[in-house]
Amino acid sequence: MAQTLTTSSRDRLLQLQEWVVRVWLGAAALCSIAVTAGIVAVLAVETGRFFRQVSPLEFFTGTEWAPLFDPRRFGVLPLVCGTVLVTFGASLIAIPCGMLTALYLSEYASAGARRWIKPLLEILAGIPTVVYGYFALAAVTPALRFVLPRTEVFNGASAAVVVGIMILPMVASLCDDAFRAVPQYIRHGAYAVGATRLEVSVRVVLPAALSGVLAAFVLALSRAVGETMAVTLAAGATPKLTLNPLVSIQTMTAYMVQISLGDTPAGTVAYQTLFAVGALLFLITLGMNLVAQRVLRAFREVYE
């Protein structure tokens, strides 16, 4: 009898322990939801206050952004234009280079070459963005100004180049994953009917991995949209509605840094623009991520 009693009290202790642990772990998992809720709430509250003072029509269609000086203008398009310009330029570098690097890694490289190249790409991916910003100022901009003397000290092209280098490892490694998920027997089938490696790569592997490749592009571009420090250092602080990559521009993220560097008191319109621009940035990147997930599901080829 005594023995069963002690066993049952030990059981109760274990049950209590199990319950405590479950609550802790469950709370930790719920925390991620709380973070999302926190981000949305913070952005929504301040953006709401912003739109009580500035009409959404002016915000979304105005072509001039000057929230700090009179006469104030709150048209976000110049900032969006700067972000699009840098992202587009970055994709011109990152997408072809990244995809060909991935094809080389998965279809051509020997195991030995892979062992060397992969860690080097990981180093490139692990370099902090502020370092890329420094690199843009110290090397890319002088090189651009040497080739095209009309280039301004701060310019969109330099930012686009370093952001392109920055997201390239991401494109390469996501594409490489997608290519390597294509089963080997499909390649063997193509080789058996006499295809060359180029034909296997471009006409068999690439179409089979299309969903992963497209998702990689979208994810990398969303990373470029949210990229901050390199763009702040290299692209300048002049919001401008232009497609010329050689002049000083400002992206959405660079504007947010500029405002937070100055001592802007809470409650002013300038402080609220921070959250309005931040909310727009959040929605754009969230939309791109959702598109990437949808693409992955829609074009997925399922293999046995």
Q: What residues from 29 to 68 belong to the interface with other proteins (CB under 8 A)?
A: 29-33, 35-36, 38-39, 42-43, 46
Specify the residue, 40 or 243, whose C-beta has the smaller distance to other proteins: 40
239 binds other proteins (CB under 8 A): no
Burial of 11 (0-12, 13-18, 19+ CB in 10 A): exposed
Site string for other proteins, 200-219 (x = CB under 8 A): -x-x---------------x
Among residues 70, 112, 194, 302, which is the contact residue for other proteins, using CB under 8 A?
194
Specify the residue, 6 or 57, whose C-beta has the smaller distance to other proteins: 6
Among residues 54, 79, 81, 103, which is the contact residue for other proteins, using CB under 8 A?
103
Among residues 87, 101, 141, 211, which is the contact residue for other proteins, using CB under 8 A?
101
Among residues 21, 44, 148, 298, which is the contact residue for other proteins, using CB under 8 A?
21
Specify the residue, 37 or 243, whose C-beta has the smaller distance to other proteins: 37
Q: How many Å apart are CA 255 and CA 243, to the nearest integer?
A: 18
Among residues 198, 243, 297, 303, which is the contact residue for other proteins, using CB under 8 A?
198
282 binds other proteins (CB under 8 A): yes
Site string for other proteins, 254-273 (x = CB under 8 A): --xx--xx-x--x-------
Specify the residue, 213 or 281, whose C-beta has the smaller distance to other proteins: 281
114 binds other proteins (CB under 8 A): no
Specify the residue, 64 or 117, whose C-beta has the smaller distance to other proteins: 117
Specify the residue, 18 or 244, whose C-beta has the smaller distance to other proteins: 18
Q: How many Å apart are CA 253 and CA 92, to the nearest integer?
A: 21
Cβ 206 to other proteins shortest distance, Å? 12
Site string for other proteins, 160-189 (x = CB under 8 A): -----x--x---x-----------------
Question: At a CB cut-off of 8 Å and minimum separation 6, what does 119 contact?
Answer: none
Among residues 12, 53, 60, 131, which is the contact residue for other proteins, using CB under 8 A?
131
